[in-house]
Amino acid sequence: MKLGLFGSLHSNMQQYGLDDKRVCELFDRFKPDILCGEVRRVDLEQDRAYQGPAEYRRFIFPFCKERGIKFVPCDQFEDSDVEYVRRMEEIEVESEDEARRIEEEAERIMEAYMRTGTSSPVPFNSDAFNAVVEEKQAFQGKLHPEEHEIVWVRRNNAIVDNVLHVIQENPGANVLVVFGTEHIYWLKKVFAKLENVEIVFPLS
């Protein structure tokens, strides 16, 4: 079976040469039977106002409906976890020197993040970009270990479990996994260990 991975920026990526039409073309080339997306099952089943990032209502749901592709919501987090995201934006430091050091490191990582992401043939989808994301996540984890564990590690593990269930229930299917760019490095590392599964990343 084939497992495709696509990282989305959760914004209109046209400024980086990757508009909705081109994304759909990448999806079509992969020819998915199933699309696993960044939507919680409870939000979809209860038809809540929020059903994942904006790109789902904008073009991913229509893409699946028009082509008869099964959509499976694979995200998982608690509403209360949003508060942990806000906490990660606050940094307590003991000195101006420490604050300067943290700011300089953050700026260095984000410069590499944008440079590597925008230079990838498929913007923000490459192994080089994944390496920068992993460095960024490790940096954030040192600053906010408890929040990072909840917001990223616990959530990523839940996403993996949900996608693995889809794989096990659909042997031989082409499964496309679409999540935010900062989840993809983790997913690829885990899924690359699976036997009899061909990882397609980036989509091309």
Contact indicator for 177, 36 with CB cutoff of 8 Å: yes
Work out whether the CA dihedral 147, 130, 67, 36 comes out positive or negative. negative
Domain ranges of the chain: 2-200
Joined tokens for residue 74: 């694979």
Please write the tens of the pLDDT for every residue from 41-83: 999 999 999 999 999 999 999 999 999 999 999 999 988 887 7
Model-level pTM?
0.94
By three-state DSSP, how is residue 132 classified? Answer: helix
Query: What's the pLDDT at 130?
Result: 98
